[in-house]
Amino acid sequence: MGTVSWAEAVSGNWSDAADWKTGKVPGESSAVRIAVPGTYTLTLDVPATIASLAISDTGATFDISNPLTVSGITNLTGGTMEVAVGGTITGGTIEVGGDARLDGDGGTLAGVTVDGALGLNATDGSLTIADGITFDGVDGTGPGAINLSGNGASLMVEGTTTLDNATITISSNLATTTLAAEGDGTPAILTLGSSLSIVDSGGGVLLTDGGDAGDGIVNLGTITDANAGGLFEIDGNSFTNDGSMTAYEVDIDSDNAFNSGNISVFVFGLLELNSESATNSGGISAPEYGTVAFNGTNFTNTGDLAASDASTLEANGANFTNSGSVTVSDTGVLEINGGSFDNTDSGSLTFDSTSTLEIANGATLTNAGTINFANGATLELSNDGTLTTAQLLAIVQYVASGPRSQPSSSMMAPISITAARHSTSVPAPA
């Protein structure tokens, strides 16, 4: 394997033999070196196959505008390697260290391993990942990094692929950053692995699949939407969260949504579930001044929902079936606005003394399970909200006398009921 080096600190094309020290264009067995001090751009203007590549000069830019196959190691310790429109890097390991940059600007990485950081820094820049990818930290140890800082950047993932062992940092703040699965006529499932983290500290984010039957996004890792200035939207055919999500402003608009992990909102945060069909078997919570709104067509809960510290759970026009637990505490509110809310025989609704249940705008609450009201809890009925007499009496009986298995004089207190813009107090029995 012979070494072929770029000759001078001048810009030029790969195919120009005069620009190489050997006077020959690198071949399949060549170890290519770009190390001449200076500021210049080497453009890959033809397809090429080489054994290895090393770029060490800080002012050098390697513009990959055609397919490049590297059978061995690409070692970047300085300069920039940019995968541009028409460019593809296939195979091998790309080591990114020092001040070097590996940037995507319209090209493709196909079946490569990246040790270090991958970036999308150009405005409206994009990068496609094909045939899988492996991420590691610098020198092959620890997690890798994917930095999406370019305004309007797009990271596209083809087919059924797992991204893992990396932190995706989104810092663009002027346009939406997109992370998408692409199917090209076949189902595309993007899995965010258990060792993958997405941290949004920039502007808007769109996480989406192709929207076709069989497409989907599966999160096994950690998604943190820490940005108060932009919407984090999840769209497409299907979204499954088996990991952890923390939301400041998140819309889940996928046709089908499934949560068996944990989802919570930040202080004053908002999570909206707008899916046609959504199921929760994990935990969804609004811990402090937050809101979780169920706006879709059908929602089924077999897990745990919670609102506390002045937070709100909203069921807005949905067909809501609860076979799990809903806990409202510390001035929290459960609002049922339109639609139907069915608390099945295995479901439970629990309200502490400071919490509120609101049934409004034609909503109907039916109960075959358990509704636990503590002393001082508030029930509000307005704008044709409906709770059957038997269910209302059951609540009042519970508040007035306490659970029959544990009678307590402390339960002998009234429940506050608000209906049609006025309040009524149902007293404890004499």
Long-range pairs for 285-291: beta carbons < 8 A, 24 or more residues apart: 286/311, 286/312, 286/313, 286/332, 287/311, 290/264, 290/265, 290/266, 291/265
CA distances from 217 to 96, 193, 209 (A): 28, 11, 6
Which tokens hold the place of 396? Answer: 């009042």
- Name the more confident of 40 and 125: 40
Which of 182-186, 226-230, 328-332, 416-420 shows the lowest mean pLDDT across its residues?
416-420
In this prediction the pTM is 0.88
In single-letter form, the type of residue at position 375 comes to N
CA distances from 175 to 54, 142, 202, 229 (A): 34, 31, 9, 11
**Residue 430, C-beta contacts closer than 8 angstroms, at least 6 positions apart:** none
Ramachandran class of 261: left when φ > 0, alpha when ψ lies in -120 to 50, beta otherwise: beta
Domain assignment of residue 53, yes or no: yes
Using the Cα atoms of residue 226, residue 228, residue 230 and residue 236 in order, give the sign of their dihedral.
positive
CA dihedral 17, 18, 20, 21 (to 10 degrees): 130
Q: How far apart are the first and last CA of the chain?
A: 98
Is residue 190, in this structure, part of any structural domain at all? yes
Q: φ, ψ for residue 275 (rounded to 5)? A: -70, 150
Two tokens, residue 359: 């049934």
Give the pLDDT band (50/70/90) at residue 385.
low
Q: Is pLDDT at 330 greater than 80 in this prediction?
A: yes
314 pLDDT higher than 50: yes
DSSP E strand boundaries for 201-303: 205-208, 216-219, 222-225, 232-235, 238-241, 244-252, 256-259, 262-273, 277-280, 283-286, 291-294, 298-301
pLDDT above 90 for 414: no
For residue 218, what are its two tokens?
Answer: 């599966």
pLDDT confidence tier of residue 298, bands split at 50, 70 and 90: very high
121 CA to centre of own chain: 20
Residue with tokens 């899988």: 132
How many structural domains comprise the chain?
A: 1
pLDDT attached to residue 373? 84
Is 430 exposed, middle or buried (CB count within 10 Å of its CB: 0-12, 13-18, 19+)? exposed
Show the domain range for 185. Answer: 3-307
More confident residue, 405 or 39: 39
**233-251 average pLDDT score:** 96
- In this prediction, residue 379 carries a pLDDT of 86
Question: How big is the CA angle at 74 (ends 69 and 79), to the nearest 5 degrees?
Answer: 115
Question: Is 398 or 321 the better-scoring residue by pLDDT?
Answer: 321
Beta bridge partner(s), residue 108:
88, 128
Is 322 contained in some domain? Answer: no
Say if residues 177 and 156 touch (Cβ distance below 8 Å): no
131 or 386, higher pLDDT: 131
What was the pLDDT predicted at 220?
98
Average pLDDT over residues 114-120: 94
- Asked if the structure places residue 211 within a domain, the reply is yes
Q: What does the pLDDT read at residue 384?
A: 61
pLDDT in tens, 135-161: 999 988 899 999 998 889 999 999 999
State which of 113-127, 145-159, 268-282 shows the largest mean pLDDT: 268-282
pLDDT in tens, 67-97: 999 999 999 999 999 999 999 999 999 999 9
Domain for residue 418, yes or no?
no
Q: Is residue 118 part of a domain?
A: yes
User: 131-135, 310-314, 334-338, 370-374 — which is least confidently predicted?
Assistant: 370-374
pLDDT band at 361 (very low <50, low <70, confident <90, very high): confident
Of 283 and 379, the one with more pLDDT: 283
The two beta strands, 107-115 and 88-90, are parallel
pLDDT band at 387 (very low <50, low <70, confident <90, very high): low
The Cα–Cα gap between 357 and 276 comes to: 25
pLDDT average, residue stretch 100-114: 95
Q: What percent of the chain has pLDDT over 90?
A: 72
Give 227 or 100, the one with higher predicted confidence: 100
Q: Give Cα separations from 205 to 181, 235, 392 (angstroms).
A: 14, 11, 44
Instruction: Give Cα 322 to chain centroid, integer Å.
Output: 25
292 falls within a domain: yes
Number of alpha carbons in the 13 Å side-chain half-sphere of residue 346 = 8
Establish how many alpha carbons lie within 13 A of residue 351's alpha carbon, considering only the half-sphere containing its beta carbon.
29
Q: What is the CA radius of gyration of the chain?
A: 29
Q: Where are the alpha helices (DSSP H) in 81-181?
A: none
pLDDT of residue 1: 58
User: What per-residue confidence (pLDDT) applies to 377?
Assistant: 86
Q: Which residue has the higher pLDDT, 420 or 302?
A: 302
Q: Give the whole-number percent of the chain exceeding pLDDT 70.
A: 88
Residue 405 lies in a domain: no
CB count in 10 Å sphere of residue 262: 18
